[in-house]
Amino acid sequence: MAVHDAMDVLSGKWKIAIISSVCYNNKRRFSDILNDVGGISNKMLSKELKDLEINKLITRNVLDTQPITVQYQLTEYGLTLKSIIDKLADWGTGHRKVIIGK
């Protein structure tokens, strides 16, 4: 089932928040994402970023600064997820009203 292929990529607690962070800011460093995504640990961020890179949704770029900084960026392909994430966000907003009433 095709949906499953998509959900696999977005699975876990953090992927969508990470994508949102990188997407919204165009380029984003590791520690920036760590701040954007409240509550995530560096271990999880590292792991999720690796997953996203494997799935060709983001690129990793090591800058030759002292100390090193690493920039992440959505690929063109990763950007194709944007409309879906927007739709999810819309639906989530509506859902909150329906269920939680806030």
Partner DNA sequence: CGGCATCCTTCTGGATACTG
Partner DNA sequence: CAGTATCCAGAAGGATGCCG
| Binding residues vs DNA (CB under 7 A) | 11-14, 29-32, 39-44, 46-47, 49-50, 60, 67-70
Asked whether the bond before 67 is cis by omega within 30 degrees of 0, the reply is yes
| The token pair that represents 46 in the structure block | 């590292």
Q: Is 49 in the site for a copy of itself (CB under 8 A)?
A: no
CB 76 within 8 A of CB 40: no
Closest by CA position to 35, among listed 23, 18, 13:
18
Q: Is 5 in the site for a copy of itself (CB under 8 A)?
A: yes
Q: Candidates 6, 27, 41, 46: give the one binding a copy of itself (CB under 8 A).
A: 6
Write down the residue that tokens 């920039």 correspond to. 71
- Rank residues 2 and 68 by Cβ distance to DNA and give the closer one: 68
Name the minimum Å distance from CB 65 to a copy of itself: 30
Residues 6+ apart with CB under 8 A from 88: 16
User: Binding residues for a copy of itself, per CB under 8 A?
Assistant: 1-7, 9-10, 16-17, 20, 55-56, 77, 80-81, 83-85, 87-96, 98-99
